[in-house]
Amino acid sequence: MSDPLDLTAREGLPDALRVLLQDYPRAAWSRDPNFHGLVSFWLDRHLMFRRLVGAMTDDARAFLDRGMEARAYAGRLARLGQTFVAELHGHHGIEDAHYFPVLARAEPRIERGFALLEADHKALDPELAAFAGAANAVLGAVAAGAPAADHGAAFLTRLAAMERLLDRHLTDEEELVVPVILRHGERGLG
């Protein structure tokens, strides 16, 4: 049986990992004196990933509805897709190597949560590879002057699947990480 806390299976964090969140509810984060700085910067990175996915979704729909010409679409997809994959890989690498070990030492009660987030990053890798493959199929067809609508539709499906998993990961990660930094400050993270 698969682990109910797997990224593909869970619908939020278990109660045992929400102990700090009770003292630091999301609605109050931006009023906390420790919010501005690393927390706001890091949440902005997550917002950027969400916006890139939203822009790629809008573009794919516009292309499929014939609202955007194929080569214009391909140019945008290449640029946004490369930025998304490169920035997300870099972001995961810094979290795994730097943030998570420091945060787990600061809050051993939720250490298991950081292992969970690291497992999410590993689970997202094949999703990102499949995303890149689907994008490259669109780009290859457009470059060859071949019909690309089927590839565009397949890419949109792949993008939506990835978005569901990425959103689950980002939301749960925010609810684990932000309370720790608000409580302990940025010590060791800067």
**Residues 99-138 vs Fe ion: string with x where CB under 5 A?**
----------------------------------------
Nearest to 95 by CA among 65, 72, 118, 120: 118
Minimum distance, C-beta of residue 121 to Fe ion, in the bound complex (Å): 6
Do 117 and 100 contact (CB within 8 A), yes or no?
A: yes
**Residues 167-186 vs Fe ion: string with x where CB under 5 A?**
------x-------------
Do 143 and 37 contact (CB within 8 A), yes or no?
A: no
Stretch binding Fe ion (CB under 5 A), from 90-98, 99-107, 139-147, 154-162: 90-98
Which residue is associated with the tokens 């497992």?
119
State residue 177 phi and psi, 5-degree precision.
Answer: -80, -45
Residue closer to Fe ion (CB basis): 173 or 175: 173
| Binding residues vs Fe ion (CB under 5 A) | 95, 173
